[in-house]
Amino acid sequence: MASSTSPIGFFPAEQTTTTSTQEDMKNTDAVDSPLRSRTTTSTNPATAARRRTAINATPAKTSPNLCRSQSFGREIGHAASETYLITRLAFTLLRYLGVGRRWISRLLALGLYAMLLMPGFLQVLHQYFFSTQIRRSIVYGDQPRNRLDLYLPKNIDSPKPVIVFVTGGAWIIGYKGWGSLLGFQLAERDIIVTCIDYRNFPQGTISDMVEDVSRGISFICNNIANYGGDPNRIYLMGQSAGAHISSCALLKQAIIESKGGPTSWSVSQIKAYFGLSGGYNLTNLVDHFDQRGLYRSIFLSIMEGDESLQEFSPEILIEDPTAKKAVPLLPHIVLFHGTEDFSIPPDASITYVDALKRAGAKAELILYEGKTHTDLFIQDALRGGKEELFDYIVDYLHAGDTEALANDAMAPPRRRLCPEPLLKLAGLVSPF
């Protein structure tokens, strides 16, 4: 877990979009969505005139070499802007960490952990910036960081199942790019993955994060058919802090619907929810996070005060009498957790599943013996080959599709991206 000190509004909105992103945004013009950014619809007259002049001056044929050069330049520009954002996220984290002995040791461990896994990270980073299968930074709302990445299979000959993924980051350094490894690997199995970015602290607090994620889900539910996705097969998944935020968004939406409130998407559009290594009862985690370095004062600032902990604890809300009518609206909920997770103990998922079952929801828990907070999401993914969590998700999303299941059975195992000795050493030094 991590933390820093920076004024609200520290992060700038991402301004750079690639040509593919601009085309994606144009494709959504035919869809009536209130979540489109206002900045994409207004045009300065002088700018419009310059555009018309440029179009009229454009020759009928453009040199292929020039096109490739321009495309490469755009990719480099996007890579630079994304790297800048990630760097600012890192410095925000460092500001909250302070200079205490505990955090210096954790910072050194994190640096060593990243260095050991660098062979795999570099391959993923290159693919993220230069793959033609990804649509980066699609605008889904008018707030800073209201962007999402879309990972597409190579062949979309029929509507594909869709995972809406919300990445973690201790509510402070969450970033859509963290889900790129999952996105590319699932896209290889004919699954569309969309990774939602959202405001982090101190740019926003928990209610802002939940609002952003809900907007992102709404955008996908209403627009994914334009990208080859099946609107009848949408699944929601969150990891770590992202599991907490997405579960709050899902439950909040169910409560609104149960009371007849206005909505831009429906819980019925989500076929299942997958929570990976998440925390769902904040009142039980405050002291644990404080001992791990996410200090109480910072955590309470993120969660909008001690009095809001229950409001943003799905485990507590699910048993509130006012949520009784919302429970039947929830989709099938599957929680995954490693038994050796020290960042968020497995009890967080165990007690939430128990609460869901008591309330009458359909829920199940899958524990992975000996797995840590990062094993299931990072090390195992870099290890490649067959892996229980990955196979479970693929089989679940393709259930009932005999052709897709047959293709999965014949598909080559995931490619190894990092040598095993480095993965084992990284697991030993991991600060998570």
Give the residue numbers marked as catalytic: 240, 341, 373
Tokens standing for residue 288? 């644990």
| CB crowding 344-374: b at 16 or more within 10 Å, else e | bbbebbebbbebbeebebebebeebeebbbb
The Cα 169–Cα 397 span in angstroms is 26
Q: Of 430, 336, 342, 424, nearest to 383 (Cα)?
A: 424
Vertex 46 angle, CA 41 and 47, to 5°: 50
197, 165 contact by CB (below 8 A): no
Strand-by-strand arrangement of the 192-196 sheet: 134-139, 147-151, 192-196, 160-166, 229-239, 270-276, 332-338, 363-368
Residue entry with tokens 């169910």: 254
Q: Do residues 89 and 173 touch, judged by C-beta distance below 8 A?
A: yes
**Which residue stretches of 44-117 are H helix?**
45-57, 64-97, 101-116
Q: Are the beta carbons of 210 and 252 closer than 8 angstroms?
A: yes
Distance between CA atoms of residues 134 and 352, nearest Å: 34
